[in-house]
Amino acid sequence: MSEDNNVLSFQQQVSELLLRHRSFLDVTSKFQESNARVNRALMKAITECGCIKVQGERQLFPQNASLSLWKKQLKTHLSGELCDHCLDIVKAEMGKNLFYLAALCNLLEINLTDVINQEANKLSTLGIFNLR
């Protein structure tokens, strides 16, 4: 099954399963709540478990440097990796977030595959100039 078919199948499943929160207002608020839960799971991995750490600092952008040098020098500010427990939680919360994104697409009659393909095309066309 292609990736496009996987996304379409997922979006159809969401349409069939979404009974309780069919209201646009409910779906929008649940989408926002699920995003907050992803963030909360990540924060707990840092503050309670400690499997990952964040050390933020100013990013230095060397003038006249090549793109490859920038990629090597720019930091994620993350160290460590999610333990199995935290990974399971983060993935579950991300799954719920995707569920409500697909539900929102369904209510607005937007094909999620089209959204993904449109963004991928924009990324490939604009490349590094797509910085936000």
Angle at the Cα of 17 from the Cα atoms of 112 and 38, rounded to 5 degrees: 60
List, for residues 45-83, the tens digit of each pLDDT value: 999 999 999 999 888 777 777 777 777 778 889 999 999
Contact assessment for residue 89 and residue 34, using Cβ atoms and an 8 Å cutoff: no
Contact assessment for residue 37 and residue 93, using Cβ atoms and an 8 Å cutoff: yes
pLDDT at 12: 93
**Number of other CB atoms surrounding residue 123 within 10 Å:** 11
CATH code for the structural domain at 3-127: 1.10.287
SS3 110: coil
User: What are the boundaries of each domain within the chain?
Assistant: 3-127
> Taking the model in full, what pTM does it have?
0.83
pLDDT at 46: 97
